[in-house]
Structure 1
Amino acid sequence: MNKEIHATRIGHVNLKVSNLESAIAFYTDVMGLTLMQRFGTGGAFLGYGGYHHHIGLNTLSSEGGAPPPESCTGLHHVAFLYPDRDALIAAVQRVITHLKDVGSDEVPQVRDHGVSEAIYFHDPDNILIEMYCDRPTEAWPYDSAGNLAMFNKQVELEAFLNS
Structure 2
Amino acid sequence: MTATAILPQQLEIGLVQIRVSHLERSLSFYQNVIGLKILRQQGRVVELTADGQQVLLVLREIEQAQVLRRNSVAGLYHFAILLPDRPSLGLVLRNLIDSGISVGQGDHLVSEALYIEDPDHNGIELYRDRPRDTWKYEATGNVVMTTDPVDVDGLLAASEGLSWTGLPAGTVMGHVHFHVGDLAEAKKFYVDALGFTVTAHYGDAAMFISAGGYHHHMGLNTWAGKGAPAAPANAAGIDYFTLLLPDIQDVHEAAERVKRAGYRVEEEGGIITLRDPWNIGIQLLVKR
Shorter-chain TM-score range: 0.7 to 0.9
**Displaced runs of 4+ in structure 1, greater than 4 A?**
156-160
Deviation at 1:10, TM superposition (A): 1.4
Q: Percent identity?
A: 33
Distance (whole Å) between structure 2 residues aligned to residue 69 and residue 128 of structure 1: 8
Give the structure with the higher percent strand: 2
Question: Could you tell me how far 1:36 is from its partner in structure 2?
Answer: 1.1
Structure 1 residue 68, shift from structure 2 partner: 4.6
2:12 and 2:83 map into 1 onto residues whose CA distance is: 16
TM-score (norm 1): 0.81
Give the distance between the partners of 1:50 and 1:133, measured in 2 at CA.
21
- What's the counterpart of residue 16 of structure 2? 13
Q: Which moved more, 1:68-77 or 1:111-120?
A: 68-77
- What is the rounded CA distance, in whole Å, between the counterparts of 1:73 and 1:135 in structure 2? 30
- Computing the radius of gyration from Cα coordinates, the structure with the larger value is 2
The question of whether the paired residues in 1 share the 8 Å contact of 2:91 and 2:156 is answered with no
Is structure 2 residue 146 aligned with structure 1 residue 151? yes
Please name the residue that 2:88 is paired with.
Answer: 87
Aligned ranges 1:121-132 → 2 under 5 Å: 121-132=116-127
Aligned positions of 1:59-98 closer than 5 A:
59-61=61-63, 63=65, 65-98=66-99
- Displacement after TM superposition at 1:21 (Å): 0.5
**Contact kept? 1:110, 1:156, Cα under 8 Å:** no
Is the 1:45–1:52 contact (alpha carbons within 8 Å) kept by the matching residues of 2?
Answer: no
The amino acid of 1:21's aligned partner reads E
1:87-126 aligned at under 5 Å gives the runs 87-98=88-99, 100=100, 104=101, 106=102, 108-126=103-121
- Asked if 1:50 is matched to 2:48, the reply is no
| Corresponding residue number in structure 1 for 2:37 | 34
Note if 1:22 corresponds to 2:25: yes
Q: Are the counterparts in 1 of residues 16 and 58 from structure 2 also a CA contact under 8 Å?
A: yes
Distance 1:137 1:69 in 2: 32
Stretch deviating more after TM superposition (138-147 or 50-59): 138-147
- The answer to whether the 8 A contact 2:106-2:148 is kept is yes
Q: Distance in 2 between matches of 1:145 and 1:56?
A: 38
Q: Which moved more, 1:142-151 or 1:24-33?
A: 142-151
Contact 1:47 1:53 in 2 (8 A): yes
In structure 1, give the amino acid aligned to 2:131: P
SS at match of 1:5: coil
1:140 is displaced (CA, Å) by 1.2
1:142 aligns with 2:137: yes
Give the TM-score taking structure 2 as reference length.
0.48
Higher relative contact order (CA 8 A, sep 6+): 2
CA contact (8 A) 2:89 2:126 kept: yes
Shift of 1:125: 1.5
Indicate the RMSD between aligned Cα atoms, in angstroms. 2.5
- Structure 2, unmatched stretches of 5+, are 159-288
